[in-house]
Structure 1
Amino acid sequence: MSTGNYYAPVSPVAAGLACKCPRCGRGKLFKGFLDVAPRCEACGLDYGFIDAGDGPAVFVILIGGFIVVALAFWVEAAYEPPLWLHAVLWIPAILLVTLGLLRPFKALLVAFQYRNKAAEGRLRDHSGE
Protein backbone atom coordinates (compact mmCIF):
# COMPACT_ATOMS: atom_id res chain seq x y z
CA MET A 1 0.00 0.00 0.00
CA SER A 2 1.08 3.57 -0.50
CA THR A 3 2.36 5.44 2.53
CA GLY A 4 0.25 8.44 1.46
CA ASN A 5 -3.02 6.78 2.50
CA TYR A 6 -4.83 8.32 5.44
CA TYR A 7 -6.00 6.08 8.27
CA ALA A 8 -8.30 7.41 10.95
CA PRO A 9 -6.67 7.30 14.38
CA VAL A 10 -7.23 4.01 16.16
CA SER A 11 -7.27 3.79 19.92
CA PRO A 12 -4.14 1.86 20.97
CA VAL A 13 -6.11 0.32 23.82
CA ALA A 14 -8.92 -0.89 21.53
CA ALA A 15 -6.51 -2.19 18.90
CA GLY A 16 -4.27 -3.81 21.51
CA LEU A 17 -6.97 -5.58 23.46
CA ALA A 18 -8.56 -6.81 20.22
CA CYS A 19 -5.12 -7.94 18.92
CA LYS A 20 -5.63 -5.94 15.74
CA CYS A 21 -3.39 -3.76 13.57
CA PRO A 22 -2.36 -0.57 15.40
CA ARG A 23 -2.78 1.54 12.23
CA CYS A 24 -6.16 0.46 10.82
CA GLY A 25 -7.63 -1.57 13.70
CA ARG A 26 -8.91 -4.27 11.31
CA GLY A 27 -6.12 -6.69 10.35
CA LYS A 28 -4.85 -9.44 12.62
CA LEU A 29 -1.66 -8.69 14.53
CA PHE A 30 -0.71 -12.30 15.27
CA LYS A 31 -0.29 -15.32 13.02
CA GLY A 32 -0.01 -17.72 15.97
CA PHE A 33 -0.40 -17.42 19.72
CA LEU A 34 2.41 -14.87 20.12
CA ASP A 35 4.03 -14.83 16.67
CA VAL A 36 3.52 -11.47 15.00
CA ALA A 37 2.36 -11.59 11.39
CA PRO A 38 4.76 -10.08 8.81
CA ARG A 39 2.25 -7.38 7.80
CA CYS A 40 -1.35 -6.29 8.21
CA GLU A 41 -3.72 -8.14 5.91
CA ALA A 42 -6.05 -5.11 5.72
CA CYS A 43 -3.78 -2.05 5.30
CA GLY A 44 -0.40 -3.61 4.52
CA LEU A 45 1.48 -2.11 7.49
CA ASP A 46 4.86 -3.82 7.80
CA TYR A 47 5.18 -5.19 11.33
CA GLY A 48 8.98 -5.24 11.12
CA PHE A 49 9.17 -2.37 13.61
CA ILE A 50 7.68 -4.48 16.40
CA ASP A 51 9.98 -5.23 19.32
CA ALA A 52 7.93 -5.77 22.47
CA GLY A 53 10.79 -7.67 24.11
CA ASP A 54 10.09 -9.01 27.59
CA GLY A 55 7.75 -6.17 28.54
CA PRO A 56 4.49 -8.09 28.16
CA ALA A 57 5.80 -11.04 30.18
CA VAL A 58 6.95 -8.77 33.00
CA PHE A 59 3.60 -6.98 33.22
CA VAL A 60 1.67 -10.25 33.10
CA ILE A 61 3.84 -11.89 35.78
CA LEU A 62 3.43 -8.92 38.10
CA ILE A 63 -0.31 -8.46 37.56
CA GLY A 64 -1.20 -12.16 37.40
CA GLY A 65 1.00 -12.96 40.37
CA PHE A 66 -0.59 -10.22 42.43
CA ILE A 67 -4.12 -11.43 41.61
CA VAL A 68 -3.49 -15.12 42.24
CA VAL A 69 -1.34 -14.67 45.36
CA ALA A 70 -3.88 -12.26 46.87
CA LEU A 71 -6.66 -14.77 46.24
CA ALA A 72 -4.56 -17.61 47.65
CA PHE A 73 -3.87 -15.62 50.83
CA TRP A 74 -7.55 -14.77 51.17
CA VAL A 75 -8.61 -18.42 50.71
CA GLU A 76 -5.99 -19.55 53.23
CA ALA A 77 -7.09 -16.99 55.81
CA ALA A 78 -10.80 -17.60 55.31
CA TYR A 79 -10.98 -21.38 54.85
CA GLU A 80 -7.58 -22.91 55.76
CA PRO A 81 -7.73 -25.63 53.06
CA PRO A 82 -5.05 -28.36 52.84
CA LEU A 83 -1.97 -27.69 50.71
CA TRP A 84 -3.02 -30.13 47.99
CA LEU A 85 -6.18 -28.08 47.46
CA HIS A 86 -4.09 -24.92 47.09
CA ALA A 87 -2.09 -26.70 44.38
CA VAL A 88 -5.26 -27.84 42.62
CA LEU A 89 -6.71 -24.33 42.74
CA TRP A 90 -3.78 -22.04 42.07
CA ILE A 91 -1.60 -23.86 39.53
CA PRO A 92 -4.36 -23.86 36.88
CA ALA A 93 -5.40 -20.35 37.94
CA ILE A 94 -1.92 -18.89 37.39
CA LEU A 95 -1.68 -20.66 34.02
CA LEU A 96 -5.06 -19.31 32.90
CA VAL A 97 -4.37 -15.78 34.11
CA THR A 98 -0.88 -15.50 32.65
CA LEU A 99 -1.64 -17.17 29.32
CA GLY A 100 -4.90 -15.25 29.04
CA LEU A 101 -3.23 -11.88 29.58
CA LEU A 102 -0.01 -12.41 27.62
CA ARG A 103 -1.37 -12.00 24.09
CA PRO A 104 -3.47 -8.84 24.75
CA PHE A 105 -0.63 -7.25 26.73
CA LYS A 106 1.82 -7.87 23.89
CA ALA A 107 -0.65 -6.39 21.40
CA LEU A 108 -1.23 -3.41 23.71
CA LEU A 109 2.51 -2.69 23.97
CA VAL A 110 2.85 -3.00 20.18
CA ALA A 111 -0.03 -0.55 19.69
CA PHE A 112 1.57 1.96 22.05
CA GLN A 113 4.92 1.43 20.35
CA TYR A 114 3.31 2.26 16.98
CA ARG A 115 1.36 5.25 18.30
CA ASN A 116 4.41 6.81 19.95
CA LYS A 117 6.73 5.96 17.05
CA ALA A 118 9.04 4.17 19.48
CA ALA A 119 12.30 2.97 17.98
CA GLU A 120 15.65 1.68 19.05
CA GLY A 121 17.72 4.31 20.85
CA ARG A 122 20.46 6.03 18.86
CA LEU A 123 23.33 8.19 20.03
CA ARG A 124 23.80 11.58 18.42
CA ASP A 125 27.15 12.78 17.21
CA HIS A 126 27.60 16.22 18.83
CA SER A 127 31.01 16.88 17.30
CA GLY A 128 29.47 18.85 14.43
CA GLU A 129 30.64 16.43 11.75
Structure 2
Amino acid sequence: MQNDDSSHQATRSARDAVWRGLKGQCPACGEGRLFPRFLKPATSCPQCGEALDGHQADDFPSYIVILLLGHILIPTMIEVNYLFDIPLGWQSIIWPAMALTLALSMIQPVKGGVIGYQWARRMHGFAR
Protein backbone atom coordinates (compact mmCIF):
# COMPACT_ATOMS: atom_id res chain seq x y z
CA MET A 1 0.00 0.00 0.00
CA GLN A 2 1.38 3.39 -0.97
CA ASN A 3 1.45 6.29 1.41
CA ASP A 4 -0.49 9.05 -0.34
CA ASP A 5 0.45 12.39 1.20
CA SER A 6 -1.70 14.38 -1.22
CA SER A 7 -4.77 13.95 0.99
CA HIS A 8 -2.90 15.52 3.92
CA GLN A 9 -1.72 18.59 2.01
CA ALA A 10 -3.44 21.88 2.70
CA THR A 11 -5.70 23.11 -0.08
CA ARG A 12 -4.55 26.11 -2.05
CA SER A 13 -7.02 28.64 -3.40
CA ALA A 14 -6.58 28.89 -7.16
CA ARG A 15 -8.50 32.17 -7.25
CA ASP A 16 -6.21 33.81 -4.69
CA ALA A 17 -3.05 32.36 -6.24
CA VAL A 18 -3.97 33.52 -9.75
CA TRP A 19 -4.94 36.97 -8.46
CA ARG A 20 -1.63 37.29 -6.61
CA GLY A 21 0.22 36.13 -9.71
CA LEU A 22 -1.60 38.69 -11.85
CA LYS A 23 -0.43 41.36 -9.41
CA GLY A 24 3.16 40.07 -9.60
CA GLN A 25 3.18 38.77 -6.04
CA CYS A 26 4.13 35.42 -4.56
CA PRO A 27 1.18 33.01 -5.01
CA ALA A 28 1.79 31.55 -1.54
CA CYS A 29 1.98 34.62 0.71
CA GLY A 30 1.05 37.55 -1.54
CA GLU A 31 3.92 39.61 -0.12
CA GLY A 32 7.10 38.89 -2.08
CA ARG A 33 7.76 39.97 -5.66
CA LEU A 34 7.21 37.22 -8.20
CA PHE A 35 9.30 38.92 -10.90
CA PRO A 36 12.60 40.57 -9.94
CA ARG A 37 13.10 41.24 -13.69
CA PHE A 38 10.57 41.69 -16.50
CA LEU A 39 9.75 38.05 -17.32
CA LYS A 40 12.20 36.21 -15.05
CA PRO A 41 10.39 34.75 -12.03
CA ALA A 42 12.20 34.61 -8.71
CA THR A 43 13.63 31.23 -7.71
CA SER A 44 12.03 31.62 -4.28
CA CYS A 45 9.91 34.17 -2.46
CA PRO A 46 12.04 36.64 -0.47
CA GLN A 47 9.28 36.89 2.16
CA CYS A 48 8.04 33.34 2.83
CA GLY A 49 10.79 31.29 1.15
CA GLU A 50 8.35 29.35 -1.09
CA ALA A 51 10.21 27.78 -4.02
CA LEU A 52 8.95 29.33 -7.26
CA ASP A 53 11.33 27.72 -9.73
CA GLY A 54 9.06 24.72 -10.36
CA HIS A 55 6.86 26.52 -12.87
CA GLN A 56 6.55 25.47 -16.48
CA ALA A 57 4.70 28.44 -17.92
CA ASP A 58 6.66 28.18 -21.20
CA ASP A 59 4.62 29.54 -24.16
CA PHE A 60 1.15 29.38 -22.61
CA PRO A 61 1.14 33.03 -21.39
CA SER A 62 1.99 34.15 -24.94
CA TYR A 63 -0.94 32.19 -26.35
CA ILE A 64 -3.28 33.80 -23.80
CA VAL A 65 -1.97 37.27 -24.67
CA ILE A 66 -2.44 36.62 -28.40
CA LEU A 67 -6.00 35.46 -27.76
CA LEU A 68 -6.76 38.55 -25.65
CA LEU A 69 -5.13 40.88 -28.18
CA GLY A 70 -7.26 39.46 -30.97
CA HIS A 71 -10.43 39.93 -28.95
CA ILE A 72 -9.49 43.49 -28.00
CA LEU A 73 -7.91 44.83 -31.20
CA ILE A 74 -10.08 43.34 -33.95
CA PRO A 75 -13.41 44.78 -32.70
CA THR A 76 -11.65 48.07 -31.95
CA MET A 77 -10.18 48.21 -35.46
CA ILE A 78 -13.56 47.44 -37.01
CA GLU A 79 -15.34 50.08 -34.92
CA VAL A 80 -12.70 52.76 -35.56
CA ASN A 81 -12.79 52.07 -39.32
CA TYR A 82 -16.57 52.28 -39.25
CA LEU A 83 -16.70 55.57 -37.32
CA PHE A 84 -13.67 57.45 -38.65
CA ASP A 85 -11.91 57.86 -41.97
CA ILE A 86 -8.31 57.33 -40.87
CA PRO A 87 -5.79 57.00 -43.74
CA LEU A 88 -4.30 53.54 -44.16
CA GLY A 89 -0.77 54.88 -43.61
CA TRP A 90 -1.69 56.11 -40.13
CA GLN A 91 -3.43 52.85 -39.35
CA SER A 92 -0.32 50.91 -40.32
CA ILE A 93 1.48 52.82 -37.55
CA ILE A 94 -1.29 52.95 -34.93
CA TRP A 95 -2.43 49.32 -34.80
CA PRO A 96 0.98 47.62 -34.57
CA ALA A 97 2.06 50.16 -31.93
CA MET A 98 -1.11 49.50 -29.96
CA ALA A 99 -0.66 45.72 -30.30
CA LEU A 100 2.94 45.92 -29.09
CA THR A 101 2.03 48.17 -26.16
CA LEU A 102 -0.85 45.94 -25.07
CA ALA A 103 1.20 42.76 -25.46
CA LEU A 104 4.08 44.11 -23.39
CA SER A 105 1.71 45.34 -20.69
CA MET A 106 -0.19 42.02 -20.50
CA ILE A 107 2.54 39.37 -20.74
CA GLN A 108 3.96 39.69 -17.22
CA PRO A 109 0.61 39.64 -15.37
CA VAL A 110 -0.60 36.73 -17.50
CA LYS A 111 2.61 34.78 -16.83
CA GLY A 112 2.18 35.49 -13.12
CA GLY A 113 -1.39 34.21 -13.27
CA VAL A 114 -0.27 31.00 -14.99
CA ILE A 115 2.45 30.46 -12.38
CA GLY A 116 -0.09 31.13 -9.62
CA TYR A 117 -2.48 28.58 -11.09
CA GLN A 118 0.26 25.97 -11.40
CA TRP A 119 1.27 26.60 -7.78
CA ALA A 120 -2.33 26.31 -6.53
CA ARG A 121 -2.93 23.03 -8.39
CA ARG A 122 0.50 21.64 -7.40
CA MET A 123 1.42 21.16 -11.04
CA HIS A 124 4.92 20.33 -12.29
CA GLY A 125 7.56 21.35 -9.72
CA PHE A 126 5.01 22.68 -7.22
CA ALA A 127 3.91 19.18 -6.18
CA ARG A 128 5.75 19.44 -2.86
Give the TM bin, normalised by the shorter chain: 0.7 to 0.9
Give the distance between the partners of 1:13 and 1:111, measured in 2 at CA: 5
**What letter corresponds to residue 107 of structure 2 in structure 1?**
L
1:107 partnered with 2:103: no
Aligned ranges for residues 1-129 of structure 1 at < 5 Å?
11-119=16-124
Identity, % of aligned positions? 29
**What letter corresponds to residue 64 of structure 1 in structure 2?**
L
Task: Give unpaired runs (5+ residues) of structure 2.
Answer: 1-9
Give the distance between the partners of 2:34 and 2:17, measured in 1 at CA: 13
State whether residues 22 and 113 of structure 2, in contact with CA within 8 Å, keep that contact through their aligned partners in structure 1: yes
String of CA shifts for 1:79-115, please: whole Å, max 9, x gaps: 1311112123212110111111100000001001000
Moved segments of 4+, more than 3 Å: none
String of CA shifts for 1:29-50, please: whole Å, max 9, x gaps: 1121001111110011111211
54-63 vs 64-73, which deviates more?
64-73
Give the distance between the partners of 1:44 and 1:119, measured in 2 at CA: 18
Give the distance between the partners of 2:75 and 2:25, measured in 1 at CA: 32
State whether residues 72 and 86 of structure 1, in contact with CA within 8 Å, keep that contact through their aligned partners in structure 2: no
Q: Which has the larger radius of gyration?
A: 1
Give the distance between the partners of 1:100 and 1:55, measured in 2 at CA: 16
**What letter corresponds to residue 19 of structure 1 in structure 2?**
G
86-95 vs 106-115, which deviates more?
86-95
CA RMSD of aligned residues (A): 1.9
**Structure with the largest fraction of helix:** 2
What's the secondary structure of 2:124's corresponding residue? coil
TM-score normalised by structure 1 residue count = 0.80
TM-score normalised by structure 2 residue count = 0.81
Give the distance between the partners of 1:41 and 1:116, measured in 2 at CA: 22
